[in-house]
Structure 1
Amino acid sequence: MKLGHKSMNGITFGFVSIIAIFALLLSMFIAVSFGAKDLTLQTVWTAVIHYNPSHTTHQIIHELRLPRVIGAAIIGAGFAVAGALMQGITRNPLADSGILGINAGATFMVALSFVFFPDLPYSALMLLSFIGAALSTVFIFLLGSAAAGGLTPLRLTLAGAVVAAMLHSLSSGIAIYYELNQDPAFWYAGGVAGVKWHHLKLLVPIILLAIVWSMAISRSVSLIALGEDVSVNLGVKTKRIRVLGIMLAVILAGTSVSAVGSIGFVGLVIPHIARKLVGVDYRFIIPVSALLGAILLILADLGARMVNPPRELAISLMVALVGVPFFLYLARRERRSL
């Protein structure tokens, strides 16, 4: 019976993955095709397959839209997998790199770099973002563990919310006091408009490697999600997996924030949708979350561009329209279960 159940989950995972890959490719093609300047589908296809730098339309597609869409896809996948890892290793359905304050730590460090080191190369900015995410994560876990009774999912969420609010306020204060220009301000609000090919050369390998590594520990994450006693009895080295999982979540979130700013709720919403589609096994949840996160951020960016062209809304606003109601729903459901 267990083998049959696993087989059915595997079939469901395969079917969902095929549909998600098709939807991802379709959403990428649509996002490249539509924007402030109307382009025919034939022009888009020709620019992708037979790029001619002497054509203005080809330059628009190749230099602006393609890196933007690819960036949205890889960053959406990164945020989603970070959220899935956090939910699994903390056994907290409200866990997300944004809600737990990881994004805020990265954002604060990048805001400081805009003020004191404005000419830093992107590789150094990414490193600072990662350091900020790591420091805020350590502080949140220490704060959540300080009370009697140790760390619980609720205390972790509250500690993350407090730290996130504090760091976001500090980042906003820095931006206002030092009169940062429009680009950092738009980055802080969240947006993929500034993603270029040289960013992707660093972003893509780091995020893909972290996702592959996350898939490698996914079986252990599934067992940890079932409970401490179950995972220990089955031989899982829980402390090692938790540290590794948190480290991977920090890498994914910190790297993503360095490119697009603080975009919350992707890591909250997407793993829950993946869990509904393919079950509770993180061997299935993590890859499906990566695909669905990529689709969500591509469509959110497309919506941000198309609502009031040629002006753009912050992509974080589009994601929040989905994420905030979902978060309130989850919070209410968790309160009922207590």
Structure 2
Amino acid sequence: MTATLATPRRAPAASAGARRRVVALVVAVVAVLLAVLLSLAFGSRPVTVDQVVEGITTWLRGETPTDIGAIAVQSRIPRTVVALLAGSALALSGALMQAITRNPLADPGILGVNTGAALAVVIGIAFFGLSSAAGYLVLALIGAFVTAFFVYFVGSVGPGGTTPIKLALAGAATTAALSSLVAAILLPRQAVMDEFRYWQVGNVGRADWGSLGVVLPVLVIGTIVALLCASALNALALGDDVAVGLGVHVGRIRVVAAVAGVGLCAAVTAIAGPIGFVGLMVPHAVRLVAGTDQRWLLPLSALGGAVLLTLADTIGRVIGSPGEVEAGIITAFLGAPVLIAIARRTRMKAL
């Protein structure tokens, strides 16, 4: 009798999962390109595809077009770039916070991080005459890190230590308190209320190339650090003991990932105000498609966040024409049902 050796085959489930992730990546890239086209084409003045092309090509050549539609396209390029980068950073920040806390409700908005950053900037503007993008960034970083530490401290007090529910409650209470302080500072100052009202809800329309250049190094470094942490975060999801056995320095990776997440959130808040729910919605949506592997989850979340915020900004300009509805309002409108669906689960499971 002749023994037949079976040829090793890749598990069908693993192969199907890999194909699904590749398809998701391709779809996400196409969605980013489509979101960019829609952002450039729609607003208070709709333009044609030819005008979009003319606006982009003349901008690349450093020229000023003569067509009014192409001029409108050129004026939308900075806010489109800011929306892409801000959405990407917020989604990455949310994914990192969910991974290191193993909390499905972790998000820069729910945990109060971006509100703390916004409060610090508003204080600098109202009481110290702050007006530079670099100053905004410094204060936003300080406010974000102080708030993150405070929320984690409050959420870890009491029996049971840190739990998803305690962190979410601490973050919600902190957000409410800090939002009230922002309103108390801005409301009596009617002269600047219109100019700085986006510090309450978030809006990418006020950012420009100068402010983007100031925060870009933080965004780039934070993104690189986040992606480099992916494999260690996968080990962390198996439990601290298993992660230590695999050679991961648990405390160090949590600190590094937390610093990257808070830094990304603070940089966005410094130029666009506190935009919520992007970091909550996008990682959950990506997780349904690509699974929990952080090596795929993080880059796909970055692409998904860019699409979400860019489309939210475009929708706000269209429905608010000739003015606009702030992108933070649109993301809150879309994110509230997601938060309710997560909160209504019978059990709060760790990720």
Counterpart for residue 221 of structure 1: 233
1:333 alignment partner, SS class: coil
Pairing 1:119-130 to 2, within 5 Å after superposition: 119-130=130-141
Pairing 1:1-338 to 2, within 5 Å after superposition: 4=11, 7-51=15-59, 52-53=63-64, 55=66, 56-62=68-74, 64-179=75-190, 180-333=192-345, 335=347
* 2:113 aligned partner, one-letter code: I
Larger radius of gyration: 2
1:129–1:257 Cα contact (<8 Å) kept: yes
TM-score, length basis structure 2: 0.91
* 2:249 aligned partner, one-letter code: K
1:95–1:157 Cα contact (<8 Å) kept: yes
1:240-281 CA distance string (max 9 Å, x none) = 111111101110110011111111110001001111111110
Matches of 2:112 and 2:83 in 1, distance apart?
21
1:265–1:320 Cα contact (<8 Å) kept: yes
Q: How has the CA–CA distance of structure 1 residues 324 and 6 changed in structure 2, closer, same or farther, with 3 Å as cutoff? A: same
Matches of 1:17 and 1:202 in 2, distance apart?
30
CA RMSD of aligned residues (A): 1.9
Of 117-126 and 161-170, more deviation after overlay is shown by: 117-126
Q: How has the CA–CA distance of structure 1 residues 275 and 117 changed in structure 2, closer, same or farther, with 3 Å as cutoff? A: same
1:110–1:129 Cα contact (<8 Å) kept: yes
1:42-66 CA distance string (max 9 Å, x none) = 111011113331535444322x200
1:140–1:156 Cα contact (<8 Å) kept: yes
1:210–1:252 Cα contact (<8 Å) kept: yes
Q: How has the CA–CA distance of structure 1 residues 263 and 54 changed in structure 2, closer, same or farther, with 3 Å as cutoff? A: same
Of 280-289 and 1-10, more deviation after overlay is shown by: 1-10
Q: How has the CA–CA distance of structure 1 residues 194 and 334 changed in structure 2, closer, same or farther, with 3 Å as cutoff? A: farther
Q: How has the CA–CA distance of structure 1 residues 313 and 253 changed in structure 2, closer, same or farther, with 3 Å as cutoff? A: same
Say which structure is richer in helix.
1
**Post-superposition shift, 1:20?**
0.6
**Post-superposition shift, 1:71?**
0.5
**Post-superposition shift, 1:84?**
0.3
Q: How has the CA–CA distance of structure 1 residues 203 and 276 changed in structure 2, closer, same or farther, with 3 Å as cutoff? A: same
Matches of 1:337 and 1:222 in 2, distance apart?
17
* 1:34 aligned partner, one-letter code: F
The total of aligned residue pairs comes to 337
Matches of 1:322 and 1:186 in 2, distance apart?
18
* 1:19 aligned partner, one-letter code: V
Q: How has the CA–CA distance of structure 1 residues 131 and 173 changed in structure 2, closer, same or farther, with 3 Å as cutoff? A: same
Residue segments in structure 1 that go unaligned for 5+ positions in a row: none
Of 272-281 and 9-18, more deviation after overlay is shown by: 9-18
1:87–1:95 Cα contact (<8 Å) kept: yes
Of 191-200 and 96-105, more deviation after overlay is shown by: 191-200
Q: How has the CA–CA distance of structure 1 residues 289 and 2 changed in structure 2, closer, same or farther, with 3 Å as cutoff? A: farther
**Post-superposition shift, 1:335?**
3.9
Residue segments in structure 2 that go unaligned for 5+ positions in a row: 1-7
1:46-95 CA distance string (max 9 Å, x none) = 11113331535444322x20010111111000110000001011000011
Matches of 1:248 and 1:2 in 2, distance apart?
39
Of 181-190 and 136-145, more deviation after overlay is shown by: 181-190
* 1:11 aligned partner, one-letter code: R
Matches of 1:332 and 1:230 in 2, distance apart?
31
1:90–1:225 Cα contact (<8 Å) kept: no
1:80–1:271 Cα contact (<8 Å) kept: yes
